[in-house]
Amino acid sequence: MSEQPKSLIPYGKQSIDDDDLAAVAAALRADYLTTGPRIAEFEAAFATAVGAKHAMVCSNGTAALHLSAMALGIGPDDIVLAPTLSFLATANGPHYTGARIVFMDCDPETALVRPQDVEDALERAGGSVKAIFITHMNGQICDIEAISKIARRIGAYLVEDACHAVGTEYTDSQGITRQVGDGAYSDLTNFSLHPVKTITMGEGGVVTTNDSTLHKQMCRLRSHGMTRDPDEFEVEELAFAADGLPNPWYYEMPSPGYNYRATDIQCALGMTQLAKLPRFAEKRRSLASEYDALLAKHNGPMRRFGRVEGCDPVLHLYVALIDFAAIGLDRGGFMRQLSALGIGTQVHYLPIHRQTYYAKLNPGLSLPGADTYYSQCLSLPLYADMTSEDVRRVMDALKSLGA
C-alpha cells in the first residue's frame, strides 16, 4: 500500500478561532457594517497596543502607505528615498503622489537598510529629499535611531513600513524597551493586517503617529477628503441653517481623497486578533528559535539570515539563505521539489529597482547588497498554528534536497 502524501505546510496563513468567527458574526448582525463604532474602538486598541497616541485604520497596507505620503504633502517633483528590498507598495505609495523614488540598498544578510545606504542614496538623489521610507524586513527593525538622525539633519520626514513587524520590540540607546509603532523616532508607522501577517483583518492597514494633525489629515483623506466638522466648513451659506446650526446632511471636500475606509466587519476581526497578539508573538518567537537551533547544527549550503542586536522581533518571515549553485538546483526547481514534499516556500522580494517600471526609470542602477540577499533568500513556513513537528519536517525536507 503506497504512503499517502503529507498535507502541505504553507509558508504562511491566518490563524482563525471561534472568537474571531463570533466577532464577525456579531458585526454582521449590528446596525453598521461600515463607518460604525468598531472603527474607533479598534483604532484606540491598536494605538494602545503599540504605545502611540493615534492610529488610523484603512483598507490595506498599500492604502496606509499612500495615505502617509498624502498626509505629508509629498507631491510631484519631491524626492523620496525608499528601500529596494521590500514589497512594491513601499515605493508605490509615495510614487502615487508624484514623488521621484531614489532606491536604497540593504545589508545582504538582513535585508535591512543601513545608515550608510541612506547616505549613499542621498548622494544619488540630486536634490532635497522630502521623506525617507524604511522597511523593517521580515520583522526585524532597521537602525531607526541612526536613520532618524539623518532625517532630522536633512529636514526630511521618516516613515516606517512596519508591515512585517507588528509586535516587534527593541531596546534603544537609552536602554528603553520600545514597541515598533510607538513613534519615538519617526513621523508615521505603517502596518499591514493581510492574512499571512501576524494578525489579520482579512485585508487591512493601520498607520500610527503621535502627530494629531497628520492623524486628522489621514482620517479625512481615507474617506474622499470629506469633512463633517463644522469648524472646518468654508461655505457658510450652504453649511449652516438660519439659526446658525450646521445642516445635518452637509459635508465639504477641501481636497480630494480616496475611498480607503476599513469596515466594521474587518475591525471586529481585528479586535479579536489584536487581543491574541501576545500569544501569536510568543509562538512565532518559539518557532523561530527552533529553526535557529536546527540551523546552528547544520553544515550544508544553508544558513539563517542575519540578526540585529537589541531587537526582539516577532518575525513575519523566517528566511534561510541558501547557496543554490552548491545544491545543483536553481531556486525555482528547488521550490518545486519542496512543494512536492508538502513544503510551501516563497521569495521576498525581487528588488523593486529591478521591476520593469522602475528599472526603466533607473537604468544601470546597481544595489549589490539587495541583489546578494535576493539571490539566496527563501522564506520558510512560519505561522501561529505550526508545530515543532512541522519545523522538523521543513528542515528534513530541505536537507533531503541537499540544502
Q: What grid cell was written down for 78?
A: 519631491
CA 2 to chain centre: 44
User: Which residue in the block uniquely carries the three cell numbers 492597514?
Assistant: 205
**What percent of the chain is predicted at pLDDT more than 90?**
98
Torsion angle defined by CA atoms of residues 70, 91, 159 and 284, in that order, rounded to the nearest 10 degrees: 130
For residue 6, what pLDDT is reported? 75
Q: Is the dihedral of CA 349, 354, 355, 357 positive or negative?
A: positive
Q: Are 366 and 31 in contact (CB under 8 A)?
A: no
Residue 259 buriedness (CB in 10 A; 0-12 / 13-18 / 19+): exposed
Per residue in 75-122, pLDDT (tens digit) is 998 999 999 999 999 999 999 999 999 999 999 999 999 999 999 999
Beta 318-322 vs 302-304: how paired, if at all? antiparallel
Single-letter amino acid code for the residue at 209: T
CB of 360 closer than 8 Å to CB of 148? no
Give the strand pairing for 377-380 and 205-209: unpaired
pLDDT class for 250, splitting at 50, 70, 90? very high
SS3 of residue 162 by DSSP: coil
Beta strands in 259-344 (DSSP E): 302-304, 311-312, 318-322
pLDDT in tens, 134-152: 999 999 999 999 999 999 9
The per-residue pLDDT for range 55-78, each reduced to its tens digit, is 999 999 999 999 999 999 999 989
At 19 the pLDDT is 98
Instruction: Write the CB contacts of 294 (distance below 8 Å, at least 6 apart in sequence).
Output: 391, 392, 395
Report, as an integer, the average pLDDT of 343-348.
98
Say what the pLDDT of residue 231 is. Answer: 95
User: Which amino acid makes up residue 244?
Assistant: G
The whole-number average pLDDT for the span 166-194 is: 98
How high is the pLDDT of residue 398?
98
pLDDT above 60 for 2: no
Q: Quick one: pLDDT at residue 353?
A: 98
**Tens digits of residue pLDDT in 262-301:** 999 999 999 999 999 999 999 999 999 999 999 999 999 9
Residue 1 has pLDDT above 90, yes or no: no
Confidence of residue 5 (pLDDT cuts 50, 70, 90): low
Nearest residue to 187 via CA among 219, 223, 212: 212
The domains located in the chain, with CATH, are 18-275 (3.40.640.10), 277-400 (3.90.1150.10)
Which pLDDT belongs to residue 300?
A: 92
State if pTM tops 0.85: yes
Half-sphere exposure at residue 111, Cβ-oriented, CA atoms within 13 angstroms: 32
